[in-house]
Structure 1
Amino acid sequence: MFNGLRRPQFLNTPHNLISKLMLHPRAANYSRRALYYFESAGLIVIAVATIYAGYQETLLMVSNARVTLADLLLMFLYLEILTMVGLYFESGKLPVRFPLYIAMVAMARYVIVDIKEMDNIRLLGVSGSIVLIALAVLVIRYGHVRYPYLEDLEDLEASKDVKHRD
């Protein structure tokens, strides 16, 4: 039914928002499935649009016979978006870090492309924003390592058991 993809966690848990609305179990099941299909459709649209944008950018680089750093950063943004979509399809989860990485690259591209028209205050503000986002990624990563989620601990224990059996 899910074509080999990992089933999203919210489809398995009875204690989610849909169940808390006290819907009939069958209605709650249909609601969860509808939500899953709408999310999947939205992610497919995002992936197709990103691939098309990357294709257009590639054609533009070929027609100009020139590749700039801004072009490469834009292609990197497209790849990050596709990675984020793929990760969500595989795990049913979207790490907060990925949009933050995308934001940092987008802001760096903004600085590179518009550096000539940018005044010192704006440059300082954008640079400070990049540093702030990088610190947020660091704090989030530290939190995941120091205080892992319960299911992450269970996965870690399961992987240790498999290694000990070998």
Structure 2
Amino acid sequence: MDLTKYFSLIEKILLIVLLVATLASIGQIIGNIIAIKEVNLADILLLFIFLEVIGMIKEYYVDSKIAISHPIFIAITALARLIILQRKDYDPEILLYEAGAIFILSVSILALRARKIAFFKPDSDK
């Protein structure tokens, strides 16, 4: 067995470990929701983050590559969750920086989507 097959096997094992850890975390969140009988926005956003992680795991398992948009969506959701969970006595500048980061990440998603439009492709690709 050559080295490439070892790396491929290690990747598959780590993907399974990541999936199990993600599912365990989802189970903990759902268990907590059931225990306290209350669903809050922070829990929902955390479940969306886990859903994106599962999507990344599936995509990498099937295609052996990950679209750059997945981690960007995770970052946007994580920043939104951070803003929601922050105490209100924090410096308002911090909120502006975090909102600016979300804006920059959103623009990057738009730029990634725009490169698929024929107008933005180089002449050799048209």
Normalising by structure 1, we get a TM-score of 0.68
Q: Secondary structure at the match of 1:94?
A: coil
Distance 2:101 2:81 in 1: 13
Please state if 1:58 is matched with 2:30.
yes
Q: 1:90 to 1:145 in 2, by over 3 A?
A: farther
Q: List alignment gaps of at least 5 residues for structure 2.
A: none
Alignment match, 1:119? 91
Alignment match, 1:69? 41
Please state if 1:135 is matched with 2:107.
yes
Distance 2:104 2:30 in 1: 32
Alignment match, 2:58? 86
Q: Which moved more, 1:135-144 or 1:68-77?
A: 135-144
Q: Report percent identity of matched pairs.
A: 30
Distance 1:141 1:35 in 2: 32
**Structure 1 residue 83, shift from structure 2 partner:** 0.8
Alignment match, 1:33? 5
Q: What residue identity is the alignment partner of 1:54?
A: I
Q: Which moved more, 1:37-46 or 1:112-121?
A: 112-121
**Structure 1 residue 118, shift from structure 2 partner:** 2.7
Q: List alignment gaps of at least 5 residues for structure 1.
A: 1-28, 154-166
Q: 1:113 to 1:33 in 2, by over 3 A?
A: same
Distance 1:137 1:87 in 2: 18
RMSD of Structure 2 on Structure 1 (CA): 1.8
Distance 2:5 2:116 in 1: 29
Alignment match, 2:21? 49
Q: What residue identity is the alignment partner of 1:60?
A: N
Distance 1:57 1:64 in 2: 11
Alignment match, 1:102? 74
Q: Secondary structure at the match of 2:65?
A: coil
Normalising by structure 2, we get a TM-score of 0.88
Distance 2:32 2:53 in 1: 20
